[in-house]
Structure 1
Amino acid sequence: MLTERERRESGQVRALEANVERLRGFTSSPGTQSPISVIRHYASIVRQPTDGPRGDGALNDVERRRTGGNMSPVSDLSVLLKTLEPVLNPGVFVFASVKDGNAIDPAAIVASIREPEGLSVVMREADAQISGLNALFKCAWITLTVNSALEAVGLTAAFATALGHSGISCNVVAGACHDHIFVPLESADAAMHVLRSLQT
């Protein structure tokens, strides 16, 4: 038997999934809502339960630093979108696959995951060249500085849908505190514009 809280959360997830499907079928014909406005709409109705009051919402990254970075992870989708605070990290990055036996400097790795075909890594283009790795995808690295909870529902769907509507592909890596988005190098500025638009 589901508790009242579990029934409410289940209904919220179904509402989010339904709105994502609406966005997939979205057309830009006159009179229709923009994808970003639809995302804001379902973010306003899909709210995760909280253990205590938030006051006026989540602190932004600057305020977090002022308070020592002790802010708890955020799971409320509407708060996450309002406080994304995307930052474009300087440099050119690449995805590459490291075959067994090919030693590389661990300090050069930005992100990695083990696959049957080898170790997939993200690293600076210059470091990949030094290591003799073939660049599979050249990209820019954007960090969402909001402290997003790993169990938060809908954040990836929201920004990926908005970026997709603008023709921007994204590869997402979740860290313990932040989401990291890797977009085509030439789309970095456009991606930043889209992400900032979700905050307003």
Structure 2
Amino acid sequence: MKPTLINPVRELPKLLRFMRPELSSKRYAFASLPPEADLSTVSPLCCFAEQEGVSVIVEYAQAIAANIPCHRQIYRMIVLTVYSDLNSVGFLAAISQALANEDVPCNVVSAHFHDYLFVPDELANNAIQCLENLSKSIRFADT
């Protein structure tokens, strides 16, 4: 039975089997801003208050238009569409290891329903292929 948004998945084999990585067409930038920074000209996808400042993930075009100094790397977002339980163990470790084996850096954001991976733009297709292969290997191993 395929999990629904009503039932989060906790078991590692099921998480890997049911994940369907989706690549966003948008390009993103990471930036760190002072806590008092005016964000009214952008729509950050994510904000996180750190000791050093407010880290934001924002569409690259918005960051440039708003003159926000951002990390030089442009990222693409991959959504792992399986509804992962916040208390699952090993899912992101398996994802990270698979990507590391292919020399793909990855920055992860976990939200209530899904996990989001930010990978360098030029490696995004490699990352998708790697994740699809990982999921397929689990599906075929269970048959």
Determine whether 1:87 maps to 2:22. yes
The separation in 2 between residues aligned to 1:85 and 1:78, in whole angstroms, is 14
Q: How does 1:21-40 map to 2 (within 5 A)?
A: none
The separation in 1 between residues aligned to 2:39 and 2:132, in whole angstroms, is 36
The separation in 1 between residues aligned to 2:42 and 2:6, in whole angstroms, is 28
The separation in 1 between residues aligned to 2:92 and 2:36, in whole angstroms, is 35
Determine whether 1:130 maps to 2:32. no
Q: Deviations over 1:130-177 (max 9, x none)?
A: 222112131010000000001000001001000000000000000100
Change (3 A) 1:184 1:150: same
Determine whether 1:115 maps to 2:46. no
Q: CA RMSD for the aligned pairs?
A: 1.5
Matched residues, number: 135
The percentage of aligned residue pairs carrying the same residue is 32
Q: Deviations over 1:94-137 (max 9, x none)?
A: 10111133201386111121011110000100111122211213
2:127 to 173, 188, 191: 191
Determine whether 1:71 maps to 2:6. yes
Q: Is the 8 A contact 2:42 2:66 kept in 1?
A: no
Determine whether 1:167 maps to 2:115. no
Match of 1:101 in 2: 36
The separation in 1 between residues aligned to 2:41 and 2:12, in whole angstroms, is 34
The amino acid across from 1:178 in the alignment is H
After TM superposition, the score normalised by the length of structure 1 is 0.64
Determine whether 1:158 maps to 2:60. no
Give 3-state SS (helix, strand or coil) of 2:129's partner. Answer: helix
The amino acid across from 1:186 in the alignment is E
The separation in 2 between residues aligned to 1:171 and 1:187, in whole angstroms, is 13
Give 3-state SS (helix, strand or coil) of 2:45's partner. Answer: strand
Q: Is the 8 A contact 2:42 2:63 kept in 1?
A: no
Structure number with the higher strand fraction is 2
The separation in 2 between residues aligned to 1:110 and 1:131, in whole angstroms, is 15
Gaps in structure 2 of 5+ consecutive residues: 137-143
Gaps in structure 1 of 5+ consecutive residues: 1-55, 65-69
128-137 vs 100-109, which deviates more? Answer: 100-109
Structure number with the higher helix fraction is 1
The separation in 1 between residues aligned to 2:42 and 2:112, in whole angstroms, is 18
Match of 2:76 in 1: 140
